[in-house]
C-alpha cells in the first residue's frame, strides 16, 4: 500500500503553503539533490487552453528545490501533432504566453524534440497486449538525478482521465514514441453521411486524405493518427476504432513503466485536482469544470496518486449542468471508456499500487 498526501482546498488554506507542506511531510524534500539538477516535468498548455497548471504553483516547487540547493528546470517534450507546441520554438513561445518563462517561474524552460539525444528503452515487461518494443526518452530527463512530475488532473478524449501516468507515458517520450502509441487510435472512415465537403482534407496536416471520384480516401502510411479529421468532420464520418481507447491506455502504461524502470534517480508526483475539465491541456478550449476544485495530491507512487485523484473526483460535488453522467469515473464515462485501464495495467506491471493510505495535511 502506498502513501498519498492530500491538501484539501475546502479547508480554505493557502495552496502555495500547501505545496510546501506536501513536499516536506512526504520526505521528498530530503531527496532533493543539493547541487544536482531537478527536472520539473509538466504540460504547459496549448495556446488558447486556460485550464493548465498555474505558473505560480510551479514557481512554488522551483523555490523549494532552490532552497534545498537543487538546480531546477522545467522540462517538456514537443507535441507529435500540429499546433502551437509541435516545435521547440513554438512551444517556448506558447510557454511564455501561458506564463512559463524564467522571469516568472524562476527556472529555465527546456523543451526537447527528436533531434535531441534520446535513450532507447526496451519494453520487455509486458502483461497485456502491447506491440510496442521500445520507447525513446530524452537523455536529459533520464540523466537528471531527480524529477518532480507535476500533473493537471483532467479528462482526455482517448484515455478518459489524464494524470501522472499519462504525463510520464506520453509526456516524457519522443514524438516518434508518442505517434507509435497513437497508432492504435488511427481514425476509421465511415462513409455514412459524407457529403465530400473537404474539411478533413483541408485540415489533415500530412495530406493523407484525398477526394477520389467524390469519395474520401486516406493513405494509411501518411497518417500520424492526430485525430484532426475526426474532430473537424461536421458529419461524424470518422470514428475511433472499437477498443482503441482502452488499448491506448494499455500502451501508455507500458511506456510509463519502461520509462520509470530506467530512471535511476528520485521521483515524486504532484497532482493538481482542480480545473477538472473534460478535455486535456492540449485542447483549446478544454471545456468547463465538471466538479468543484478539490485540492493537491502528492505521492512517490504515480498509480496511487492517480487512483487517489480519481477517487477524490468521484467524491467531489458535480457542478450542476456540467455533465449528465454520475460517478464513478465521470471523466471516463464522458469519453466512453474506463479510465482505470491505465492504472490497473500499470499496477500489474509493478509501477505502483492501486491501494493507498491517504493522509490529509
Ligand atoms: S488522416 Fe486524420 S488522423 Fe491521419 S494525419 Fe490526417 S487528420 Fe490526422
Ligand atoms: S469532413 Fe467529413 S463530410 Fe467532409 S469530406 Fe471529410 S469525411 Fe466527408
Whether residue 128 has pLDDT greater than 90: no
178 C-beta neighbours (distance < 10 Å), count:
25
**Ligand 2 mean position, distance from CA 233 (Å):** 5
Q: From the CA of 236, give the closest atom in ligand 2.
A: 2
The mean pLDDT value for 22-27 works out to 96
2-182+245-360 has CATH 3.40.50.11440 classification? yes
The CA-based angle 25-6-18, given to 5 degrees, is 65
pLDDT, mean of residues 10-34 = 96
The answer to whether the beta carbons of residues 245 and 237 sit under 8 Å apart is no
Nearest atom in ligand 2 to the alpha carbon of residue 189 is 7
Q: What is the 3-state secondary structure (H, E, C) of 226-263?
A: CCHHHHHCCCCCEECCCCHHHHHHHHHHHHHHHHHHHC
Mean pLDDT, the chain, integer: 96
Span 178-194, average pLDDT: 92
What's the rounded mean pLDDT across residues 248-261? 97
Mean pLDDT of 259-287: 96
CA dist 146 → 42, 58, 102, 263, 361 (Å): 14, 16, 20, 9, 24
Identify the DSSP state of 319: P
Q: What would the mean pLDDT of 180-202 be, rounded to a whole number?
A: 92
Q: What is the pTM of this model?
A: 0.95
Dist. CA 228 → ligand 2 center (Å): 12
**203-226 pLDDT, tens digit each:** 999 999 999 988 999 999 999 999
Q: Is there a contact between 361 and 22 (Cβ–Cβ < 8 Å)?
A: yes
Residue 191: band (very low, low, confident or very high) from pLDDT cuts 50, 70, 90: confident
- Over residues 260-276, mean pLDDT: 96
Task: Return the CATH fold of 193-239.
Answer: Alpha-Beta Plaits (3.30.70)
Quote the ligand 2 centre to 192 CA distance (angstroms).
10
Cα gap 42→152, rounded to integer Å: 8
* Whether pLDDT at 10 is above 90: yes
pLDDT band at 190 (very low <50, low <70, confident <90, very high): confident
What pLDDT digit, counting tens, does each position of 50-61 carry? 999 999 999 999
Confidence of residue 151 (pLDDT cuts 50, 70, 90): very high
Report how far residue 193's alpha carbon sits from residue 190's, in angstroms, rounded to the nearest whole number.
8
Q: Residue of the nearest CA to atom 7 in ligand 1?
A: 204
Cβ 119 vs Cβ 137: under 8 Å = yes
Say how far apart CA 88 and CA 46 lie, in whole Å.
13
* Nearest partner of 259 among 39, 26, 1, 23, judged by Cα: 39
Alpha carbons 299 and 268: distance in angstroms, whole number: 6
**CB of 118 closer than 6 angstroms to any ligand 1 atom:** no
Cα–Cα distance, 8 to 79 (Å, whole number): 32
Q: Largest Cα–Cα distance in the chain? A: 66
Nearest atom, ligand 1, residue 225 CA: 3
Rounded Cα gap, residues 282 and 220, in angstroms: 24
Q: Does the pLDDT at position 19 exceed 90?
A: yes
* Cell numbers 493523407: residue: 208
Please choose, from the candidates 101, 104, 42, 47, the residue with its C-alpha nearest in 3D space to the C-alpha of residue 77: 42
Mutation choice for ligand 1 from 179, 226, 232, 241, CB with most ligand atoms inside 8 A: 226
What average pLDDT does this structure show over 10-21? 97
Q: Which three cell numbers stand for residue 248?
A: 491506448
Instruction: Quote the pLDDT of residue 192.
Output: 78
The residues spanned by each domain of the chain are 2-182+245-360, 193-239
Q: Which residue has the cell 531546477?
A: 72
Considering every ligand atom, which ligand is closest to the CA of 188? 1
Amino acid at each position: 500500500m502506498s502513501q498519498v498526501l492530500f491538501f484539501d482546498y475546502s479547508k480554505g488554506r493557502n495552496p502555495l503553503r500547501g505545496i510546501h507542506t506536501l513536499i516536506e511531510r512526504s520526505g521528498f524534500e530530503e531527496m532533493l539533490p543539493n547541487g544536482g539538477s531537478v527536472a520539473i516535468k509538466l504540460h504547459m498548455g496549448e495556446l488558447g487552453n486556460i485550464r493548465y497548471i498555474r505558473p505560480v504553483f510551479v514557481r512554488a516547487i522551483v523555490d523549494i528545490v532552490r532552497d534545498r540547493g537543487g538546480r531546477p528546470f522545467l522540462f517538456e517534450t514537443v507535441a507529435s501533432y500540429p499546433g502551437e507546441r509541435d516545435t521547440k520554438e513554438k512551444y517556448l513561445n506558447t510557454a511564455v504566453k501561458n506564463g512559463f518563462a524564467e522571469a516568472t517561474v524562476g527556472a529555465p524552460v527546456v523543451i526537447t524534440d527528436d533531434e535531441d539525444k534520446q535513450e532507447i528503452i526496451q519494453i520487455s515487461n509486458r502483461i497485456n497486449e502491447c506491440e510496442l518494443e521500445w520507447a525513446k526518452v530524452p537523455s536529459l530527463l533520464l540523466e537528471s538525478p531527480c524529477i518532480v512530475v507535476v500533473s493537471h488532473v483532467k479528462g482526455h478524449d482517448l484515455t478518459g482521465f489524464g494524470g501522472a501516468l499519462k504525463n510520464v507515458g506520453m509526456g516524457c517520450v519522443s514524438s516518434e514514441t508518442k505517434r507509435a502509441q497513437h497508432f492504435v487510435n488511427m481514425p476509421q472512415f465511415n462513409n455514412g453521411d459524407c457529403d465530400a465537403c473537404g474539411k478533413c482534407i483541408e485540415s489533415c496536416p500530412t495530406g493523407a486524405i484525398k477526394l477520389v471520384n467524390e469519395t474520401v480516401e486516406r493513405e494509411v502510411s501518411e497518417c500520424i493518427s492526430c485525430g484532426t479529421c475526426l474532430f473537424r468532420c461536421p458529419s461524424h464520418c470518422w470514428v475511433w476504432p472499437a477498443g482503441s481507447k482502452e488499448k491506448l491506455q494499455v500502451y501508455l502504461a507500458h511506456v510509463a513503466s519502461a520509462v520509470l524502470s530506467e530512471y535511476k534517480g528520485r521521483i515524486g508526483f504532484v497532482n493538481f485536482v482542480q480545473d477538472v475539465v473534460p478535455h486535456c491541456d492540449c485542447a483549446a478550449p478544454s471545456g468547463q469544470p465538471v466538479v468543484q476544485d478539490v485540492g493537491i495530491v502528492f505521492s512517490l507512487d504515480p498509480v496511487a496518486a492517480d487512483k487517489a485523484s480519481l477517487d477524490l473526483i468521484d467524491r467531489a460535488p458535480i457542478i450542476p449542468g456540467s455533465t449528465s453522467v454520475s460517478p464513478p469515473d465521470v471523466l471516463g464515462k464522458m469519453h466512453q471508456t474506463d479510465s482505470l485501464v491505465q492504472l490497473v495495467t500499470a499496477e500489474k506491471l509493478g509501477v505502483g499500487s492501486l491501494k493507498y493510505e491517504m493522509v490529509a495535511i
